[in-house]
């Protein structure tokens, strides 16, 4: 337990107030029944078995922020970091601001934000390891870093940037509501440290003394519809119709008089000039996801086509199965799938804890995706090991594995799509995500089969197969292209962060985006010609090589754009490393190499394998074991 000081000031203590029965979202503030088994249990804070005596212990608590009083001193940040021993490169609580008007009528609105301990915490339902728990005590949403394996999905789904992925430790942590202080009737450390009396804390919907408002939103605050956050605001000063962010996010906020709230719109801070930005595009933090999604969709597509074609007795596939190209094709599918899974696993903060990804099958689409893709891999492995032998008994077992692989592959890809339908990332939250994945499954699955077949078998004897595969590729590319067209139209006219993503797409990555679109159109036209005319001779091989190269470049650019363009519904920030622009500047000039400045490279993702190989090469066995331990722990 936290031990109060003998001279603890009165303002640091929680108030015993009469509370409402329901919050404004219609949910009960009292979180348990009087005879619930969840009551009268110790939180076992630091091994202390005592139970807090707060009369409102089982009611939903939340923060109250009075923007009229906030002076932007960051004392709340400092108190939180000091109390929780937070490293310099992450922060559980952050202070940002938006501004409006010009001199002499300039306005600045500060916003202090941490975890809002929501009624519907998407971090909890999204986490594949079940590291999150919403407690009956105070309604606190707590996270256990020891359970976390560092996938970072909770940082994607949270609209408020509350979970913090530590790139050094490879795990997530966040605000814990200072429950150790609440148990002894003290307010959280950030509230007690606030100089301007801007932060307060208590049972949700209770308006503190000398306050007159309890709004659910404030300019720059994301929509409350996603999670029903437990924070209330006061802002009595009139605000201009337009407020802007001071960070490099291309967003500003316009007041919608009908809705009575501010809506995000594009702020063209970088102008309209188009750029390539190839280095940022192709070497992003999410490159592992690029490779994993492309490899998995291609191999699921190719394997499913082979198995379904054989079961449905499609002549071209049956002929391929009986040819010398079938075994190398299956082995290549297995190798590509293995590579994709390896890249995904090494992307985790704690790769050796990968098995925890199955812990939340009941709620998390990530767990379900992992389960589906793992079962596909199991089916593929079983078929690869048994199906290449011409033995009736083994072939029967191999077909069972193949059925498991085809079925679970479809399930895995469905949940791969579902896990990207994130309201907090509007650029992804569109059916085009599904059309892109299905398009890749069809086009690259067929391309993979065609490549191996053309390399081993003579073109003259496989025209029907190639034409059928080209027709499948036409369908896949057409589905992907239609999705891109509709997505671009919807994002361009949107009133959310997706519009800012579209702005980045046509400016910061405008030339790369145009190249992707051009290659998509070119590939569609070329495979349409192949579907009608087939391939033959040297010209056929040349056309095939051009198609393969063009498809790979298109996929690399397209899937990389998918990941680098997404802009989450985060709070505005403009304080040192929390500003994205500052982080990039610090890394470009080497400032990030000095850890005291609070900018940390995410080395645990990109360099783990390189460090391991270097360790094996350059050290003795004894030292090698110690270094490997340092890399992974």
Q: What integer is the mean pLDDT of 473-497?
A: 95
Taking residues 388-401, report their average pLDDT. Answer: 84
Contact partners, residue 10, CB within 8 Å, separation at least 6: none
The phi, psi pair for 502, rounded to 5°, reads: -65, -40
Query: If you write DSSP's letter for every residue of 246-261 in order, what string do you get?
Result: SSS-SEEEEEETTTTE
Quick: pLDDT tens for 21-71.
Answer: 999 999 999 999 988 888 888 888 888 888 988 889 999 999 999 999 999
pLDDT value, residue 540: 87
Question: pLDDT class for 493, splitting at 50, 70, 90?
Answer: confident
Cβ proximity of 184 and 2 under 8 Å:
yes
pLDDT score recorded for residue 617: 54
pLDDT of residue 443 exceeding 70, the answer is yes
Q: What's the number of CA atoms in the CB half-sphere (13 Å) around residue 252?
A: 15
Mean pLDDT of 344-371: 94
Residue 441 contacts residue 476 (beta carbons within 8 Å):
yes
Closest CA to 121 of 91, 139, 141, 101: 141
Whether the predicted pLDDT of 449 surpasses 70: yes
Strand order in the sheet with 242-245: 107-113, 94-100, 242-245, 251-256, 261-266
Q: What is the pLDDT of residues 405-431, one digit of tens each?
A: 999 999 999 999 999 999 999 999 999
Cβ-contact 167, 177 below 8 angstroms: no
CA distance linking residue 418 with residue 371, whole number of Å: 14
Secondary structure of residue 62 in the 3-state scheme: strand
Tokens representing residue 227 in the block: 């999670």
pLDDT at 527 over 80: yes
Q: Are 94 and 76 in contact (CB under 8 A)?
A: no
Q: In whole angstroms, give the CA distance from residue 551 to residue 359.
A: 37
Interatomic CA distance for residues 383 and 395, integer angstroms: 8
pLDDT at 594: 67
Q: How far is CA 433 from the centre of its chain?
A: 14
Q: Which residues of 373-393 are buried (b: 16+ CB within 10 A; e: fewer)?
A: bbbbbebbebbbebbeeeeee
Do residues 575 and 96 touch, judged by C-beta distance below 8 A?
yes
Please provide the average confidence, as pLDDT, over all residues in the chain: 89
Average pLDDT over residues 318-341: 94
Question: Which residue, among 232, 233, 230, 231, has the nearest Cα to 119 in the 3D structure?
Answer: 230
Q: Are 240 and 107 in contact (CB under 8 A)?
A: yes
Q: Residue 264: phi, psi to the nearest 5?
A: -75, 140
What pLDDT score was predicted for residue 579? 63
DSSP 8-class letter at 208: P
User: Can you give the pLDDT at residue 623?
Assistant: 56
Read off the DSSP letter of residue 22. Answer: B
178: left (phi over 0), alpha (psi -120 to 50) or beta: left
pLDDT the model gives residue 577: 53
pLDDT tens by residue, 579-629: 666 667 677 777 667 665 555 555 444 444 444 445 445 555 555 455 444
Helix (H, G, I), strand (E, B) or coil at 529: helix
pLDDT at 306 over 50: yes
Strands (E), 73-177: 94-100, 107-113, 132-134, 141-143, 164-166, 171-173
Over residues 375-399, mean pLDDT: 89
Give 395: exposed, middle or buried? Use CB within 10 Å, 0-12, 13-18, 19+: middle
Which span out of 29-38, 90-99, 446-455 was modeled with the highest average pLDDT? 446-455
Pull the structure tokens for residue 413.
């890809």
Which is higher by pLDDT, 374 or 40?
Answer: 374
Lowest-pLDDT range, 72-86, 217-231, 411-425, 594-608?
A: 594-608
Cα 449 to Cα 471: distance, rounded to the nearest angstrom: 13
Residue extents of the structural domains in the chain: 57-266, 282-420+603-632
* 607 against 471, higher pLDDT: 471
| Of the listed ranges 491-495, 507-511, 583-587, the one predicted with least confidence | 583-587
For the chain, the distance separating the N- and C-terminal CA atoms, rounded to the nearest angstrom, is 29
Distance (Å, rounded) from C-alpha 292 to C-alpha 69?
Answer: 48
β-pairing, 141-143 vs 132-134, is: antiparallel
pLDDT of 257 reads 81
- Give the three-state DSSP class for 609: helix
The pTM is what? 0.90
Angle at 168 between CA 165 and CA 170, to 5 degrees: 50
Instruction: Give the pLDDT mean for 236-242.
Output: 86
| pLDDT tens track for 541-572 | 999 999 999 999 999 999 999 999 999 988 77
- What pLDDT is stored for residue 260 in this prediction? 75
Distance CA 550, CA 449 (A): 17
Q: What is the pLDDT of residue 350?
A: 93
Q: Label residue 262 exposed, middle or buried (CB < 10 Å: 0-12, 13-18, 19+).
A: buried
Q: Which CATH number fits domain 57-266: 3.40.605.10, 3.30.750.24, 3.30.70.20, 1.10.540.10?
A: 3.30.70.20
**Which helix (H) or strand (E) is 142 found in, with range?**
strand 141-143
Structure confidence by residue, pLDDT tens digits, 146-194: 999 999 999 999 999 899 998 888 999 999 999 999 999 999 999 999 9
Continuous segment of H or E residues that includes residue 337? helix 326-347
**Full DSSP string of 340-364:** HHHHHHHHSSSGGGGGGGGTTTTT-
Other Cβ atoms closer than 10 A to 190 = 25
Please state the length of the chain: 633
Whole-number pLDDT of residue 622: 53
Residue 63 has phi, psi (to 5 degrees) of -90, 155
More confident residue, 305 or 628: 305
Q: Extract the tokens encoding 431.
A: 């059916």
Helix-helix angle 326-347:432-456, to 10 degrees: 140
Q: Check residue 633 and give its pLDDT.
A: 46
CB atoms within 10 A of CB 53: 9
């Amino acid at each position: 337990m936290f031990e109060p000081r003998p001279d603890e000031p009165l303002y640091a203590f929680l108030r015993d107030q009469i509370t409402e029965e329901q919050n404004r979202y219609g949910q009960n503030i009292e979180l348990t029944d009087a005879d619930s088994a969840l009551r009268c249990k110790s939180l076992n804070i630091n091994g202390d078995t005592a139970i807090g005596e707060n009369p409102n212990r089982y009611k939903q608590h939340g923060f109250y922020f009075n923007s009229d009083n906030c002076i932007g001193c960051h004392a709340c940040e400092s108190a939180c970091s000091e109390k929780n021993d937070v490293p310099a490169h992450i922060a559980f609580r952050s202070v940002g601001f938006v501004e409006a008007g010009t001199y002499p009528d300039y306005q600045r609105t500060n916003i202090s934000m941490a975890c809002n301990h929501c009624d519907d915490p998407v971090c909890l339902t999204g986490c594949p390891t079940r590291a999150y728990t919403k407690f009956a005590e105070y309604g606190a949403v707590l996270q256990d870093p020891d359970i976390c394996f560092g996938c970072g999905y909770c940082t994607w789904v949270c609209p408020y940037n509350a979970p913090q992925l530590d790139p050094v430790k490879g795990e997530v942590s966040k605000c814990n509501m200072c429950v150790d202080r609440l148990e002894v009737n003290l307010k959280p450390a950030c509230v007690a440290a606030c100089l301007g009396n801007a932060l307060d804390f208590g049972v949700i919907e209770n308006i503190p003394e000398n306050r007159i408002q309890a709004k659910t939103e404030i300019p720059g605050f994301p929509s409350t519809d996603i999670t029903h956050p437990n924070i209330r605001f006061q802002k009595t000063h009139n605000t201009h119709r337009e407020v802007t962010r001071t960070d490099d996010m291309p967003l500003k906020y316009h007041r919608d008089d009908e809705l009575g709230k501010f809506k995000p719109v594009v702020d063209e801070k970088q102008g309209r000039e188009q750029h390539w930005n190839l280095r940022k595009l192709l070497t992003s933090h999410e490159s592992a996801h690029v490779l994993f999604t492309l490899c998995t969709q291609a191999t699921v597509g190719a394997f499913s086509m082979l198995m379904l074609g054989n079961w449905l007795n499609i002549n071209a596939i049956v002929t391929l199965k009986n040819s010398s190209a079938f075994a190398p094709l299956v082995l290549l599918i297995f190798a590509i799938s293995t590579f994709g899974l390896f890249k995904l696993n090494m992307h985790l903060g704690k790769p050796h804890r990968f098995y925890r990804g199955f812990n939340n099958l009941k709620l998390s689409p990530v767990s379900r995706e992992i389960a589906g893709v793992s079962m596909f891999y199991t089916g593929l492995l079983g078929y690869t090991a048994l199906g290449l032998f011409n033995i009736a008994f083994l072939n029967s077992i191999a077909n069972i594995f193949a059925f498991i692989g085809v079925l679970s592959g479809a399930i895995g890809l469905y949940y791969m799509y579902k896990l990207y339908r994130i309201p907090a990332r509007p650029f992804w939250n569109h059916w085009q995500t599904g059309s892109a994945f299905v398009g890749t499954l069809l086009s690259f699955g067929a391309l993979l089969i065609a490549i191996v077949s053309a390399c081993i078998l003579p073109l003259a004897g496989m025209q029907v197969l190639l034409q059928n595969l080209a027709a499948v590729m036409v369908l896949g590319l057409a589905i992907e292209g239609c999705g891109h067209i509709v997505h671009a139209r919807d994002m361009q006219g949107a009133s959310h962060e997706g519009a800012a993503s579209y702005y980045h797409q046509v400016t910061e990555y405008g030339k790369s985006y145009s190249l992707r679109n051009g290659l998509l159109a070119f590939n569609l036209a070329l495979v349409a010609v192949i579907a009608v005319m087939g391939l033959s001779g040297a010209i056929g091989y040349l056309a095939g090589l051009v198609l393969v190269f063009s498809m790979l470049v298109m996929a690399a650019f397209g899937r990389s754009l998918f990941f680098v363009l997404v802009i989450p519904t985060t709070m505005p920030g403009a304080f040192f490393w929390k500003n994205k622009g500052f982080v990039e500047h610090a890394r470009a000039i080497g400032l990030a190499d000095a850890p005291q400045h609070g900018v940390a490279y995410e080395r645990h993702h990109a360099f783990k394998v390189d460090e391991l190989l270097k360790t094996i090469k350059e050290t003795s066995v004894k030292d090698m074991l110690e270094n490997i331990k340092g890399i992974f722990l």
